[in-house]
Amino acid sequence: MIKNFIFLLFNISLFLLLFQGKLISQILQASTNEPVEVTAGKTTYKWEIERLILENTNNQIPLIVQGEASLKANTIIYDNKKEMGYAFGDIFYQNKKEQVILTAGEGTYNTKTKELIVKQNPKIISKKDNTTARSTLMKIYPERDYIVMIGNVKITNTNYTIEGDQAIYYHRDGQFKILGKAKTIQEKTTLKADKIVVSSKSGNLESYTATGDVQVEDSKEGYTIKSGRLDYFKELGYSKITQNPVILFKDKNIEAYAITMEKYDNEEKANLLGNVIIVQEKKRAYAKWGEYFIKTKKMALSGNPMLVEGRSMFSANKILIDVDSETMSMIGRGSGLYEYETK
């Protein structure tokens, strides 16, 4: 009897050591130098299978605390043979120092692979920048400093919303990688793409790269940009749009094409660079480059601009396009060939 009791105490101590060194320190990012406090309504140790079970009875929910980190759930199990930890029902983890909260319905931690899997409506809240992340399932790798979110991903804060089928968050440098139906919403601008890599800082989007079927819709200015790639740098207020970019204007029969487009936030202007083509019903305007002035919704083409309609062709020093009135005007040294249509 005494021998079994000593054996039981030894295994519980071993469990607590494992929990302190791995489940708390690795999962909760707490200090291994701080003591671990474990409370529960019911504690059962099955020494023949080396399994400890903490259960909620008499309204005393299992709670594990180390320093500023704490974990509670309706049931917490550690399987020493499998080196697996389990938590079920109303999981609530909090790290007061890091200002992070994690909630879920179920969690599993593998001490060998150092992988934490949480499901049943998992949610992470970062109080530092008011960011909330949700998905169907999350895989957390504390030692590798990243989180994988799978299924119905939605990341929100006061400045933006990010959505997608899957996301990887590197919390050390604040970078998100969103895959599959990726979308970001910021104020009145919506960005969609197959893949978006976002760098954030203090709850703000600092830069992002979108690739694959990129679409940017600005509901305020009334235009949509489509391309294969978009790079944005907030500090510079600069966007570079490549891979067959085109600008489409809401309720207007005008489309603008170029090899590369550059947008400058402070100047409220976009540059159209290389093989510029403006399409307005039967009219085509061609030029080496052009400028689009966002506020006035006007474009200016230069670099041997040419206006073509059917077999009629005209050249000038500059061609002006008014998006609102859907008109094209030639400025300076206009010349060309006009061909009448005969029936």
Q: Is the pLDDT of residue 156 over 80?
A: yes
Indicate whether 154 pLDDT > 90: yes
Residue 321 is predicted with a pLDDT of 93
Residue 341 confidence (pLDDT):
52
Which residues does residue 155 pair with via DSSP β-bridges, in sequence order?
133, 162
Q: Is residue 69 within 8 Å of 94, Cβ to Cβ?
A: yes
Identify the residue with better confidence: 113 or 191.
191
> How many whole angstroms separate alpha carbon 216 and alpha carbon 223?
8
pLDDT at 169: 86
Residue carrying the six token digits 């309720």: 251
Q: Above 70 in pLDDT, residue 343?
A: no
pLDDT of 32: 54
HEC string of the chain equals CHHHHHHHHHHHHHHHHHHHHHHHHHHCCCCCCCCEEEECCEEEEECCCCEEEEECECCECCEEEECCEEEECCEEEEECCCCEEEEEEEEEEEECCCCEEEEEEEEEEECCCCEEEEECCCEEEECCCCEEEECCEEEEEHHHCEEEEEEEEEEECCCCEEEEEEEEEECCCCEEEEEEEEEEEECCEEEEEEEEEEEEECCEEEEEEEEEEEEEEECCCCEEEEEEEEEEECCCCEEEEECCCEEEECCCCEEEECCEEEEECCCCEEEEEEEEEEEECCEEEEEEEEEEECCCCEEEEECCCEEEECCEEEECCEEEEECCCCEEEEECCCEEECCCCCC
The class that CATH gives domain 1-121 is mainly beta
Residue type, 142: P
Q: Give pLDDT, residue 19.
A: 43
Q: Report, as an integer, the average pLDDT of 35-62.
A: 83
pTM score = 0.80
Mean pLDDT of the chain: 83
The CATH number of the structural domain formed by 245-343 is 2.60.450.10
Q: For 291-319, what is each residue's pLDDT tens digit?
A: 999 999 999 999 999 999 887 888 888 99
Q: Which residue has the tokens 């759930």?
A: 73
Q: Which residue has the higher pLDDT, 224 or 22?
A: 224
pLDDT value at position 70?
84
Pick the residue with more confidence: 147 or 228? Answer: 228
Q: How confident is the model at residue 13 (pLDDT cuts 50, 70, 90)?
A: very low
User: 20 pLDDT exceeds 50?
Assistant: no
Residue 242 has what pLDDT?
Answer: 98
Lowest mean pLDDT among 133-137, 168-172, 228-232, 259-263: 168-172
Higher-pLDDT residue of 338, 188 = 188
pLDDT of res. 3: 32
Share of the chain above pLDDT 90, in %: 47
Q: Is a pLDDT exceeding 80 seen at residue 224?
A: yes
Q: Where in the chain is the domain with CATH 2.60.450.10?
A: 245-343
Q: What is the rounded average pLDDT of the residues 228-251? A: 95
Residue 26 has pLDDT above 50, yes or no: no
Nearest to 273 by CA among 263, 261, 287, 285: 261
Residue 157 token pair = 């804060």
Let me know: does 90 contact 56? Beta carbons within 8 Å: no
Confidence at residue 302, expressed as pLDDT on a 0 to 100 scale: 92
Taking only the tens place, the pLDDT of each residue in 89-143 is 999 988 888 788 889 999 998 878 888 899 999 999 888 778 899 999 999 887 7
User: Rounded CA gap, 25 and 168, in Å?
Assistant: 22
Residue 130: what pLDDT?
83
